[in-house]
């Protein structure tokens, strides 16, 4: 048995056709799943009973159950879900001026080993199936349905490395982007990688319109290798070469994510190195406040220093944004709530 959310529209069409059904049945089923957001297959009133019974032998709908929910004073909501095998995963719903953005998880645990990150406190157990990622979006959307609001943006930036689960992440994006599904625009879907170069090339060659973000966090190899072990496999030169290829193939601007760590990567020297690295490329820097994690000693950069760093980039010809902090009072770091539950033995 598997969740029916695992199937892309084309896969569902092909499955139905192979069983002698008309292809239009796929559109009917997807309408029930993604527009009417049913929770049981037998709620589909315009699908013949024999087909429903056949589908029920192989598929169920939601693969996730809610374990707990936290709401921040800034409106951020963190959902903690349990999967069919008892694993825990998080999704975070944030409110911005442009709408509701959901940060989704792509793996159970993470093996990238970034030293500042709560996600890596629990090593990778397995990849999430595409339907398990889809279900995070559907749960958040059902929550917003009560307020007549919708998920407008998706960031694949939660626990896990998306390009280490490439096929499932691509299927997930295609499902939520489909006009027959949730119809979330391609340019409102962002995939964030810590620098898996092979995945960047594969993504570039697909010519998708989804946004690409890179977790950079340091402008030179020495510091980046200390913070992010992936840099020992693919150094900054290799990473930038892959990003230049992506830009050439897709003519799309890249987001470079940069978490500001007090006394580590937030100095004037680091700002100048970062400006030199990025200048002339079709990219901008997203400066991110750090959510402190008990298990490490990294500290958040104070607001004054963050603005100084931002100003240095802008004055040196590099476009930058300073992201508003979200969820600092509710275990805001990716993986933090999940890690807390594991500590409690829940």
Please name the helix (run of DSSP H) or strand (run of DSSP E) that holds residue 151, with its range, or none: strand 151-156
* Torsion angle of C-alpha atoms 241, 244, 246, 252, degrees rounded to 10: 160
Active site residue 90: yes
Q: Which two tokens stand for residue 23?
A: 């292809």
Mapped onto helix, strand or coil, the DSSP state of residue 263 is coil
Q: Measured between alpha carbons, how far is 272 from 224 in angstroms, rounded to an integer?
A: 15
Choice among 90, 132, 161, 257 that is catalytic: 90
**Strand 59-60 vs strand 77-82: parallel, antiparallel, or unpaired?**
unpaired
Choice among 117, 173, 194, 334 that is catalytic: 334
Q: Measured between alpha carbons, how far is 109 from 87 in angstroms, rounded to an integer?
A: 9
Q: Measured between alpha carbons, how far is 212 from 1 in angstroms, rounded to an integer?
A: 33
**Strand 107-108 vs strand 126-127: parallel, antiparallel, or unpaired?**
antiparallel
CA–CA distances in Å: residue 340 to residues 15, 105, 114, 158: 41, 17, 19, 16
* Sequence-separated (6 or more) residues with CB below 8 Å from residue 152: 98, 99, 100, 101, 184, 188
Total residues found in the chain within this entry: 346
Which residues are tagged catalytic?
Answer: 90, 334
């Amino acid at each position: 048995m598997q969740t029916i959310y695992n199937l892309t529209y084309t896969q569902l069409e092909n499955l139905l056709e192979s069983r002698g059904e008309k292809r239009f049945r796929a559109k009917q089923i997807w309408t029930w799943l993604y527009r009417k957001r049913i929770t049981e297959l037998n709620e589909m009133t315009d699908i013949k009973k024999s087909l429903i019974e056949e589908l029920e032998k192989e598929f169920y709908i939601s693969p996730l159950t809610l374990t707990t929910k936290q709401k921040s004073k800034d409106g951020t909501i963190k959902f903690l879900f349990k999967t069919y095998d008892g694993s825990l995963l998080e999704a975070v719903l944030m409110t911005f001026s442009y709408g509701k953005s959901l940060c989704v998880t792509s793996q159970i645990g993470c093996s990238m080993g970034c030293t500042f990150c709560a996600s890596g406190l629990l090593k990778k157990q397995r990849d999430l199936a595409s339907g398990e990622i889809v279900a995070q979006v559907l749960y958040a959307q059902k929550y917003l349905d009560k307020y007549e609001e919708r998920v407008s943006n998706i960031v694949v930036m939660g626990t896990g490395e998306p390009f280490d689960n490439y096929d499932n992440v691509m299927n997930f994006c295609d499902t939520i982007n489909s006009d027959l599904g949730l119809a979330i625009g391609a340019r409102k879907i962002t995939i964030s990688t810590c620098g898996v170069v092979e995945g960047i090339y594969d993504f570039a060659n697909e010519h998708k319109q989804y946004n690409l973000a890179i977790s950079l966090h340091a402008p030179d190899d020495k510091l980046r290798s200390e913070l992010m072990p992936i840099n020992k496999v693919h150094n900054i030169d290799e990473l930038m070469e892959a990003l230049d290829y992506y830009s050439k193939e897709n003519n799309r601007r890249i987001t470079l994510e940069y978490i500001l760590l007090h006394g580590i990567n937030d100095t004037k020297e680091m700002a100048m190195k970062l400006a030199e690295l990025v200048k002339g490329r079709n990219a901008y820097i997203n400066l991110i406040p750090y959510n402190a994690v008990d298990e490490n000693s990294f500290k958040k950069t104070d607001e004054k220093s963050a603005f100084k760093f931002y100003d240095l980039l802008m004055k040196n010809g590099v476009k930058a944004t300073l992201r508003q902090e979200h969820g600092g009072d509710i275990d805001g770091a990716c993986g933090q709530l999940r890690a807390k539950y594991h500590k409690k033995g829940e």
